[in-house]
Amino acid sequence: MNIHSLIQLLVVLEECRKPEAVVDEIKHVILSYGFSFFGLLRRIKEGEDPNGRILAGHWPDSWPQIYLAKKYILSDPTIRYLAYTQRPFRWKEGLAAFRKDPNFRRMDMMMTDAASHGLKDGYTFPIHGRTGVLGNMMVGGKRPVDLSPVEISLFDAVARKGFWRILELNGRAQALESSAEAEARLTRRETEILRYLAEGMTSVEIGKSLKISNHTVDWYVNGLQDKLKAKNRQHAVAVAFRHGLIT
């Protein structure tokens, strides 16, 4: 395959008139590129049915059920890393980024389990809106596929085009845009403090880094908890990760 198939796919997706046609076209090119599986996923809010995040997908047998049963969504590094980057990344990059995280063993276990089911290597393409992460496209398989920078850029464009085209044809694009507008917006300072909280820093440590008092940090944290409807600091960080507010 070559980049012309990806360029052509971008044109074809615009001409599709049914969501199923969009999925078939994307699947055809992705499989032809050497990947075995893919998924177009929508970010879900706290309390939503996890099954609602899948817009389209072709997964190994039983993997979606195992993923949900073992609650891997809470420790999936390919999902958590979306909160740290706006660029496409390889799965191993996502795992490596959390090497010092207290939950790294759980993340590594999840990736090992995925590899045993045929998801050994792949890429994630984030889909961002004005307020953060809206979803992503994942492609992967049993063997590595090395994409060139140009191919990565085109896959990134396919991810966005496919994501929005499916939502448009399902009549859900406007609702997603409206809900995104209504979500909490964080200031630059609030985002900085959330990032430090995510790294396990105390109010005193954050205050020293930002050259403000720890009491001011506590004031910001209380405001964040109210804005995110979180019970405590840890919950605020979890909510921010889940909704893509830390980028």
User: Can you give the pLDDT at residue 182?
Assistant: 42
> Mind listing the pLDDT tens digit for each residue in 181-239?
445 577 888 889 998 999 889 999 999 999 999 999 999 998 888 888 888 898 888 88
* Residue 175 belongs to a domain: yes
d(CA 180, CA 142): 35
**Would you say 66 and 110 are in contact if contact means Cβ atoms under 8 Å apart?**
no
Question: Based on the domain organization, do 145 and 217 belong to the same domain?
Answer: no
* Residue 122 DSSP code: E
Question: Based on the domain organization, do 91 and 145 belong to the same domain?
Answer: yes
User: Can you give the pLDDT at residue 171?
Assistant: 87
- Please give the full DSSP string across 175-209, using - where no structure is assigned: HHHHHHHHSPPPPHHHHHHHHHHHTT--HHHHHHH
Question: Based on the domain organization, do 159 and 175 belong to the same domain?
Answer: yes
Question: How confident is residue 104, by pLDDT bands cut at 50, 70 and 90?
Answer: very high
User: Can you give the pLDDT at residue 73?
Assistant: 83
**Would you say 22 and 16 are in contact if contact means Cβ atoms under 8 Å apart?**
yes
**Would you say 207 and 240 are in contact if contact means Cβ atoms under 8 Å apart?**
no
In the three-class reduction of DSSP (H, G, I as helix; E, B as strand; rest coil), residue 169 is classed as helix
Question: Based on the domain organization, do 137 and 80 belong to the same domain?
Answer: yes
Q: Which domain holds residue 231?
A: 185-242
- Tokens 């991810």 — which residue? 159
Closest CA to 142 of 116, 110, 111: 116
Token pair in block for residue 148: 């060139």
Lowest mean pLDDT among 22-31, 99-108, 124-133, 191-200: 124-133
CA distances from 38 to 28, 93, 122, 236, 244 (A): 11, 18, 9, 31, 21
Q: Read off the pLDDT of each residue in 115-136 and give the average, rounded to a whole number.
A: 89
Domain end residue (candidates: 179, 211, 233): 179
Question: Based on the domain organization, do 191 and 150 belong to the same domain?
Answer: no
> Mind listing the pLDDT tens digit for each residue in 142-178?
999 999 999 999 999 999 999 999 999 988 777 666 5
> Mind listing the pLDDT tens digit for each residue in 22-51?
999 999 999 999 999 999 998 876 666 766
Question: Based on the domain organization, do 117 and 7 belong to the same domain?
Answer: yes
User: Can you give the pLDDT at residue 228?
Assistant: 84
Residue 179 pLDDT exceeds 70: no
CA–chain centroid gap for 194, Å, is: 18
Question: Based on the domain organization, do 127 and 212 belong to the same domain?
Answer: no
Lateral strand order in the sheet of 121-129: 54-58, 37-42, 132-141, 121-129, 89-90
As for how many domains the chain has, the answer is 2
User: Can you give the pLDDT at residue 212?
Assistant: 92
User: Can you give the pLDDT at residue 75?
Assistant: 85
**Would you say 37 and 91 are in contact if contact means Cβ atoms under 8 Å apart?**
no
Question: Based on the domain organization, do 175 and 192 belong to the same domain?
Answer: no
Question: Based on the domain organization, do 28 and 133 belong to the same domain?
Answer: yes
Question: Based on the domain organization, do 127 and 147 belong to the same domain?
Answer: yes
* CB burial of residue 227 (10 Å; 0-12, 13-18, 19+): middle
pTM above 0.95, yes or no: no
- For strand 132-141 and strand 54-58, is the pairing parallel, antiparallel, or unpaired? unpaired
Question: How confident is residue 93, by pLDDT bands cut at 50, 70 and 90?
Answer: very high
